[in-house]
Structure 1
Amino acid sequence: MTGLPVSMRVMNLAHFVTRNARRLPDGPALVWGERTWTWAAIDAAVSALAAGLRARGIAKGDRILVHSKNCLDMYVSMFAAFRLGAVWVPTNFRLTPQEVVPLAIDSGAKALLCHADFPDHAAAVAAGCPGLGFTWSIGSADFGEAEVGAVVAAHAGTRVEDAPVTYHDPCWFFFTSGTTGRSKAAVLTHGQMAFVVTNHLADLVPGSTERDASLVVAPLSHGAGVHQLVLGARGAPSILMPGDRFDIDEAYRLIERHRVTNLFTVPTILKMLAEHPAADRYDHSSLRHVIYAGAPMYREDQKTALRRLGPVIVQYFGLGEVTGNITVLPPALHTLEDGPDARIGTCGFERTGMQVQIQDDEGRELAPGETGEICVIGPAVFAGYHENPEANAKAFRDGWFRTGDLGHMDEAGFLYITGRASDMYISGGSNIYPREIEEKILTHPGIAEVAVVGVPDPTWGEVGIAVCVTREGASVSELDVVTFLTSKIARYKMPKRVLFWEALPKSGYGKVPKRMVRDELEARGELAVPLAAARG
């Protein structure tokens, strides 16, 4: 068809708050400790903060860096940035000052909103980011020219309308976790995120309304922030943990008190929730969707979660660059039995509106069962990395986003992740995928956690080291693990060493990056051991 007007104008994401304030003015929007803010109060605070930022020179397209723990002002800052047509640039509050500075520089931040607990971060960014115009503190602090709460109070009653935006206008710089190098700013746009919200509501938390409630157990700077935006679109309240330390007993208390219906987390945290005795002390029958993502969940951990929480767990696979929208495995497909219909190890099927393909190194689609790179197209794919043409050239091929993850699909279209391309190692000419070995080790009753990494070896090129964490009270030796694996994996896949640590290193998002495991191995001097001769 020709002659039709073409419009890329889309809804500004801040309209979610406006709509909720009209329809549900007295409905709970945010709960933090003993305080509850209504949608009318949140909408007023968003406008007041937007007015203050505008008065200070922030305009459409400007980037606002936010370094903060989860709190009211951080939540409000997201929608205030959106309302102005500015770009919200949150960072993980667990990063060091030296890690935050390059993010400020790379994003071109014009303003910094920094939690009062992080004066060193504020000072480092102010000194290292020449384009920074000003710093405001979140909470009372000795740094910054103003405090966010005071700014909101000073502009109370001022109404700021949503800036007009197009599909491609950026709204959020979502920093990748940086497990393979320096973090990059993935550009998320208003149009893309409107699709993401709709997709999450359809595929992850279907049937959600304002009568639902979500518990926030992860930093709002990343996946949890997306999830709260999704629930906010339905007018449902978000409940913040009262402290910045994850307290499982408190989490269950809040679930019972607020009749929480959903939460978003990562496999390591879900494992902790499922294994904790608090699961038996509190009523968690209100839960309908316990969503885990960020890494595949081991089969034994899935079973534990199903036994303790019931048929409520939902898995999705998706990177920050695709905002979580690649596959979904809903509750009905999480089974306790390991029968032929269980599809053990799958992370689900394609999300609504998205297409997934397994490709070889030349970009050719591979047949079912063949291992290759997981690639994806669809409206949830990000606009690219901010001012990083080299990274963009590597990330896209013929319009497909290359995830860097390896896997295969079965005949029915269910996806199975083998691991990160960077995690795979080659030993004696054979490709070895750590996840396969980790799954087998975790079936040992005495092993709670494990990470298998490939390290250089003069004889075989690379060999595997398995780092295990035993369950409380269990006594397991290297020989025990090797004997246990003998009938379960081929000899060439057998780790050449098995180590036992009190805990595995974890990122600020609860993941266990293999890079951090390798770094710890090196720090402990384990890489100096002649691996080829470690067990003969």
Structure 2
Amino acid sequence: MGRGRGQSGRARGRRPKSAWRADSLGPRRRDPAAPGDPHRRRAQATVSGPASRDRVSRVVDLTIARTLSLAGRRAGEKPAVICGDRVLSHGALADAAARLAGALQAFGLGKGDRLGVVLPNCPEYVAIALACARSSIVMVPLNYRFTAEEHATQLSDCGARLLIYGEIFGETVREVARRVAGLGTVCVGTAVAADLGSLDEILARNAPAGPADVSETDVFYLGYTSGTTGHPKGAMVTHRNRCLAYHYWALEFGIRDNDVVLHAGPFHHTAPFTFVLTQLFMGGTVVILEHFSASDVLAAIERHRVTWGFLVPYMLDRLVHAGAELKQHDLSSLRMIVSGASPLPTVTKEAVLDLLPGIGLHEFYGATEAGVITNLRPEDQRRKTRCVGRPVFDTEIEIRDEAGRPLPPGETGDIWMRGPTVFSGYFDAPDKTAAAFDGEWCTIGDVGRLDDEGYLYILDRRKDLIKSGGVNVFPIEIEEVLLAVPGIADVAAIGVPDPTWGEAVHAVVVANGDRPLADADVVAACRARLAGYKVPKSIEFRSALPRNANGKVLKRTLRQDFVDRMRTDMPV
């Protein structure tokens, strides 16, 4: 397939081709969906008797390989993936995936084995996903910003036998390989002696794989949660789950075969990559940016006649601030923007609606564990403030109190959901799985309320709630007020230890430089619009907020920084 762009440097000491051998890999761990496994997927069908067996034999399983293969046949030589100057047709993408599947099978990987991926956005990422799907190998996307220790933790947790990585991450990956026994590595780029080969070499010397034994109940990928609230967990997502998601999302957002979608978000996050596969499922074209910049996004929309894009709130904020540059590009092909991954601030939303009045804006609420859960459609954007819409197709939402009792509209409580796109549980973590499920219903720790029309409002993650003097304070309320203050570019409200109230509100503010800002300005803005107990007791100014690769603020890091400073300032 060629080397992905964004890979820099030349590693020395290429490993001879004969080193590509199955006995280099470590032993297998149990298939997460294998019979007898206590963590087997929750929705596994159970049938008995001749009639049931005969009926099941005639049912066509919903698998990623079949779904995307059929879409590829319809699309033929139409461009499937565009990345810089590289263009792969649907046919070429399918061939690359089949050859890679053959290589993985020859290498000894089979049903249920886990394969880690740490790559920048590139066509190879898509081919690897399709190859895993063809072979019932479980793909494990890894955050390329992680340290070697963090990678090793996740790879050890899931028992991965192989890691495919980008050359630019070579130094980190070699440290990972030293920490994870039996882990084989394959480089997208120039391989080194420690690798089992390069991806180009593997594709060149392997024939396409034939059909493999893949069931809709097999795990397609392990989606590790972002870790913004603690130790990441591997959510098991099945073939059936994702196939249905592609159908539902195409219906919900009106995705068509003649669409061209732009993606600049990192593929190791669930939403960007699943939207990529949704567009391919419809037979359309995906334009990939390796990294986000407002200038690159605007140029790509014009160059490739992009019709829609998935852009997280941070990206939309950067587009809004692109100012005159935005007006210099022909954006007439763009009909839709989809936003998600974190709340879209009202001030940013209003700016997008004003600057791009002819474009339909969607804001969804989703999670690694469930995909898209609710969506606020364009017609509701101005009449439903701070709202994330109604449940998408085949999904139900219920608000419950801490005792698990359903609450009426208008009451605040834990968000529970039910539907076929909800994950099957956390890999090798029965206690965490049990805590997340109540029968078919699932919660991921978010707090919200429903209005009389069934629209959902997210108030915060339960772990981010500030409990001051026994009263719950929702950080998002404070953040919304401060983001409307001239001179404030970004803000995060967190709870910090307080000897009197248990926790006190602490605001971390990023100024935009337009005007001088002082603590008193922040406090005054909050006092004018919020109850006294919600007003920050302390203010901190920073040049930027710590965020993960998908734009989510790392509030856990902010809290820990505050605690560390308190300890440093304490008298000895």
TM band (smaller chain): over 0.9
Are 1:517 and 2:558 an aligned pair?
Answer: yes
- Is contact 1:9–1:165 with CA below 8 Å preserved after alignment? no
Shift in CA distance, 382/131, structure 1 to aligned 2, threshold 3 Å = farther
Q: 1:233: which partner in 2?
A: 281
Displacement after TM superposition at 1:87 (Å): 0.9
Write out per-residue CA displacement over residues 38-87 of structure 1, whole angstroms, 9 at most, x where no aligned residue. 11111111111111111111112111111111112222100000011111
- Is contact 2:113–2:161 with CA below 8 Å preserved after alignment? yes
Query: Which of these residues, 401, 419, 423, is aligned with residue 382 of structure 1?
Result: 423
Query: Which of these residues, 278, 292, 298, is aligned with residue 252 of structure 1?
Result: 298
Displacement after TM superposition at 1:201 (Å): 0.7
Q: 1:218: which partner in 2?
A: 265
- State the one-letter code of the partner of 1:299: T
Q: 2:38: which partner in 1?
A: none
**TM-score, length-scaled by structure 1:** 0.92
Displacement after TM superposition at 1:397 (Å): 1.9
- Is contact 2:399–2:416 with CA below 8 Å preserved after alignment? yes
Query: Which of these residues, 104, 112, 117, is aligned with residue 53 of structure 1?
Result: 104
Write out per-residue CA displacement over residues 290-328 of structure 1, whole angstroms, 9 at most, x where no aligned residue. 11111111111110111122342211101100022x110
Displacement after TM superposition at 1:353 (Å): 0.2
Shift in CA distance, 272/366, structure 1 to aligned 2, threshold 3 Å = same
- State the one-letter code of the partner of 1:408: R
SS at match of 1:515: helix
Count of equivalent residues: 514
Query: Which of these residues, 252, 256, 263, is aligned with residue 209 of structure 1?
Result: 256
Q: 1:314: which partner in 2?
A: 362
Q: Distance in 2 between matches of 1:42 and 1:503?
A: 40
Q: 2:44: which partner in 1?
A: none
Are 1:148 and 2:199 an aligned pair?
Answer: yes
Q: 2:310: which partner in 1?
A: 264
Write out per-residue CA displacement over residues 90-110 of structure 1, whole angstroms, 9 at most, x where no aligned residue. 111111111100111111111
Q: Distance in 1 between matches of 2:137 and 2:179?
A: 22
Query: Which of these residues, 319, 322, 339, is aligned with residue 276 of structure 1?
Result: 322
- Is contact 1:108–1:131 with CA below 8 Å preserved after alignment? no
- State the one-letter code of the partner of 1:185: G
Q: 1:85: which partner in 2?
A: 136
Q: 2:240: which partner in 1?
A: 191
Displacement after TM superposition at 1:118 (Å): 1.5
How do 1:318-357 residues align onto structure 2 when only pairs under 5 Å count?
318-324=366-372, 326-335=373-382, 342-357=383-398
Displacement after TM superposition at 1:32 (Å): 1.1
Q: 1:501: which partner in 2?
A: 542
SS at match of 1:48: helix
- State the one-letter code of the partner of 1:332: E
Q: 1:401: which partner in 2?
A: 442
Write out per-residue CA displacement over residues 441-466 of structure 1, whole angstroms, 9 at most, x where no aligned residue. 11112211110000010011110111
Q: Distance in 2 between matches of 1:76 and 1:173?
A: 17
Are 1:182 and 2:223 an aligned pair?
Answer: no
SS at match of 1:120: helix
Write out per-residue CA displacement over residues 324-352 of structure 1, whole angstroms, 9 at most, x where no aligned residue. 2x1100112112xxxxxx12111111111
Q: 1:534: which partner in 2?
A: none
Displacement after TM superposition at 1:508 (Å): 1.6
Q: 1:338: which partner in 2?
A: none
Are 1:29 and 2:80 an aligned pair?
Answer: yes
Displacement after TM superposition at 1:526 (Å): 6.0
Write out per-residue CA displacement over residues 131-179 of structure 1, whole angstroms, 9 at most, x where no aligned residue. 43x2111111324121011211222xx3323423323110111110011
- Is contact 1:275–1:304 with CA below 8 Å preserved after alignment? no
Query: Which of these residues, 375, 395, 403, is aligned with residue 362 of structure 1?
Result: 403
Q: 1:339: which partner in 2?
A: none
Flag structure 1 segments of 5+ consecutive residues without an equivalent.
336-341, 531-536
Query: Which of these residues, 398, 421, 425, is aligned with residue 462 of structure 2?
Result: 421
- State the one-letter code of the partner of 1:396: F
How do 1:73-112 residues align onto structure 2 when only pairs under 5 Å count?
73-112=124-163
- Is contact 1:82–1:171 with CA below 8 Å preserved after alignment? yes
- Is contact 2:63–2:216 with CA below 8 Å preserved after alignment? no
Q: Distance in 2 between matches of 1:215 and 1:162?
A: 31
Flag structure 2 segments of 5+ consecutive residues without an equivalent.
1-48
**TM-score, length-scaled by structure 2:** 0.87
Shift in CA distance, 82/252, structure 1 to aligned 2, threshold 3 Å = same
- State the one-letter code of the partner of 2:150: E
- State the one-letter code of the partner of 1:255: I
Query: Which of these residues, 412, 415, 425, is aligned with residue 453 of structure 2?
Result: 412
Moved over 4 A (4+): 526-530
Q: Distance in 2 between matches of 1:246 and 1:378?
A: 33
Q: Distance in 2 between matches of 1:528 and 1:281?
A: 51
Are 1:116 and 2:182 an aligned pair?
Answer: no
- Is contact 2:496–2:562 with CA below 8 Å preserved after alignment? no
Write out per-residue CA displacement over residues 251-286 of structure 1, whole angstroms, 9 at most, x where no aligned residue. 110011111111113211221122212322212222
Q: 1:473: which partner in 2?
A: 514
Displacement after TM superposition at 1:122 (Å): 2.3
- State the one-letter code of the partner of 2:186: W
Q: Distance in 2 between matches of 1:528 and 1:400?
A: 45
Identity of aligned residues (%): 33
Q: Distance in 2 between matches of 1:431 and 1:508?
A: 29
Displacement after TM superposition at 1:211 (Å): 1.7
Are 1:298 and 2:345 an aligned pair?
Answer: yes
SS at match of 2:507: strand
Write out per-residue CA displacement over residues 363-402 of structure 1, whole angstroms, 9 at most, x where no aligned residue. 1101111111001011010010111111111111233111
- Is contact 1:168–1:383 with CA below 8 Å preserved after alignment? no
SS at match of 1:318: strand
SS at match of 2:314: helix
Q: 1:67: which partner in 2?
A: 118
- State the one-letter code of the partner of 1:188: V
Q: Distance in 1 between matches of 2:291 and 2:259?
A: 25
SS at match of 2:144: coil
Are 1:200 and 2:249 an aligned pair?
Answer: yes
- Is contact 1:437–1:493 with CA below 8 Å preserved after alignment? yes
Displacement after TM superposition at 1:130 (Å): 2.5
Q: Distance in 2 between matches of 1:57 and 1:509?
A: 34
Displacement after TM superposition at 1:16 (Å): 3.9
Q: Distance in 1 between matches of 2:249 and 2:415?
A: 20
Q: Distance in 1 between matches of 2:319 and 2:208?
A: 42
Q: Distance in 2 between matches of 1:526 and 1:215?
A: 45
Q: Distance in 2 between matches of 1:227 and 1:520?
A: 35
Q: Distance in 1 between matches of 2:71 and 2:342?
A: 33
SS at match of 2:111: coil
- State the one-letter code of the partner of 2:455: F
Are 1:41 and 2:102 an aligned pair?
Answer: no
